[in-house]
Chain A
Amino acid sequence: MFRLRNPFLPGLLLALVGIVRPWLEATMARHMVAELPLLFAIGWLVAYTTGCADGRQRHSYCPAMLLSALLITSVWMLPVALDYAVIHVAANALKVAGMLLAGFLAGSAWRAAGAIVQGFFLVNWAWMTITAGLLYQDAPRQLCSVYLTDQQWMAGVGLVTLGAAVLSIWLIHTVFLPLSARPDETAEHA
């Protein structure tokens, strides 16, 4: 039976990403909206698989871990960083390692951080991603040396969609659903 905690799963997924990497990096949209989030998710899965993501007890290092993840993911929204990643093997290796680390750090700190700290970092990330996406769509000139202008428009659409989707899912899961469950709790206490 398939288990998400299978210790081989992150390695298997990483190998698959490695195999399809040329296809993923052939367009700016796939590079930014598919490959980078996939690497981040694999890092998160490592935290989940190793049990690092299970801790519910709040600890004071969560903000530093989430800030690290936010900064690492921000780097790869810069056109110059994307160019380096496509042109230089070492930069690409740094990108892979960095995004895996970002996912691991975020996954390890997420549950322990609590809704307020989660919200602070998630809203910041979503705001940044949506803003970058809008800028990519609106840029009058080619921003990346390795991707065409029409590709950056598509990447911009993808980034706006990704930022809005993740923010919406988090808001529904962490804010609206618990709030909608509250009247029942109040009724029970009464």
Chain B
Amino acid sequence: MPRSSQLPRYGAAIALVLVALAGLAGFSFLTRGFTAVTSDGVRRIDLEHSPRALSAIRLVDSRGAGFSLAAIGGKAGRVTLITLGYTTCLAICRTTLSGQAYLQQELRSRQLDDRVRLLTISFDPSRDTPAALREYGRKMKADPQRWTFATVADPADLPRLLKLFDIVVLPDGLGGFVHNGAIFMADADGRLVRAYDIDRPDQALADLLPD
């Protein structure tokens, strides 16, 4: 280790300042300017700054009809609020789906339901067949014209789907899954532009209301 007398006079002070600045820069990058400490928070900020184009992943809905995720805006250019989960989930999907049920009701009462659609995508295609999704939608009192339940047409597309939404799905050892979630907003051009916490559908609604 070099002796202090051999070192430049201010070398240690400069090194200390540089380390502190590097630390601040690193933390600022990781937490997106000291505003988020979780992956979900970081994703929310990233989407606000850099919307993501939806991939052309084939989905199949509860009627058995196929469609592309990239085309969910449709010709009418509708906004879509998307969530991911699976129908036998006893944990966060309950919160997520009650949020979407709340949104369905609020959008209807505010007469916004013609320009906003709801989409729930299952990442458990082996159990969530179109028939299972149809039954689940019925239980949730979903309006089939405005709230679509779907899953991937090809299970091989699941990794691509989960990566697009930054959803982590892990087996829970009891036949189910542990996963994170969010309410995603896709704009009329088929881009993910916002993500909201699953227990804050009111924030998604506030962003949809006219100024």
Return chain B residues, CB-CB under 8 Å to A81: 30
Check B168 against A87 for contact (C-beta < 8 Å).
yes
Whether B3 is near chain A, meaning CB under 8 Å from some CB there, is: yes
Partner of B11, one of A55, A60, A78, A146: A60
Nearest chain B residue, comparing its CB with the CB of A112: B1
Chain B at the A interface: SS class: helix
Interface string of B87-105 (1 = CB under 8 A from A): 0000010000000000000
Check A145 against B39 for contact (C-beta < 8 Å).
yes
Q: How far is the CB of A117 from chain B (nearest CB, A)?
A: 11
Kindly count the residue-residue contacts between A and B in the assembled complex, taking CB atoms under 8 Å apart: 86
Check B19 against A145 for contact (C-beta < 8 Å).
no
Check A64 against B1 for contact (C-beta < 8 Å).
no
Whether B208 is near chain A, meaning CB under 8 Å from some CB there, is: no
Nearest chain A residue, comparing its CB with the CB of B179: A145
Stretch at the interface among A31-39, A67-75, A180-188: A67-75
Check A79 against B38 for contact (C-beta < 8 Å).
yes
Interface string of B71-88 (1 = CB under 8 A from A): 000000000000000000
A78 to B27, CA, bound (A): 10
Check A144 against B38 for contact (C-beta < 8 Å).
yes
- Chain A residues touching B, range: 20 to 34
Whether A90 is near chain B, meaning CB under 8 Å from some CB there, is: no
Check A80 against B168 for contact (C-beta < 8 Å).
no
Whether B7 is near chain A, meaning CB under 8 Å from some CB there, is: yes
Check A52 against B30 for contact (C-beta < 8 Å).
no
Whether B107 is near chain A, meaning CB under 8 Å from some CB there, is: no
Interface string of B1-40 (1 = CB under 8 A from A): 1111001000111011011101100110011000011111
A188 to B167, CA, bound (A): 69
Partner of A145, one of B3, B26, B40, B199: B40
- Chain B residues touching A, range: 35 or more
A80 to B27, CA, bound (A): 11
Check A64 against B42 for contact (C-beta < 8 Å).
no
Check A61 against B39 for contact (C-beta < 8 Å).
no
Check B39 against A60 for contact (C-beta < 8 Å).
no
Check B7 against A61 for contact (C-beta < 8 Å).
yes
Check A78 against B4 for contact (C-beta < 8 Å).
no
Whether B41 is near chain A, meaning CB under 8 Å from some CB there, is: yes
Whether A63 is near chain B, meaning CB under 8 Å from some CB there, is: yes
With contact pairs A80-B38, A80-B39 given, residues A75 and B15 touching in the complex (Cβ less than 8 Å): no
Binding site for B on A (CB under 8 A): 52, 55, 57-61, 63-64, 67-68, 71, 74-75, 78-81, 83-84, 87, 108, 112, 141-146, 148
Binding site for A on B (CB under 8 A): 1-4, 7, 11-13, 15-16, 18-20, 22-23, 26-27, 30-31, 36-42, 92, 166-168, 170, 178-180, 199
**Assuming A75-B30, A108-B1, what are 6 further A-B pairs, CB within 8 angstroms?**
A57-B3, A71-B19, A71-B26, A78-B31, A78-B37, A80-B39
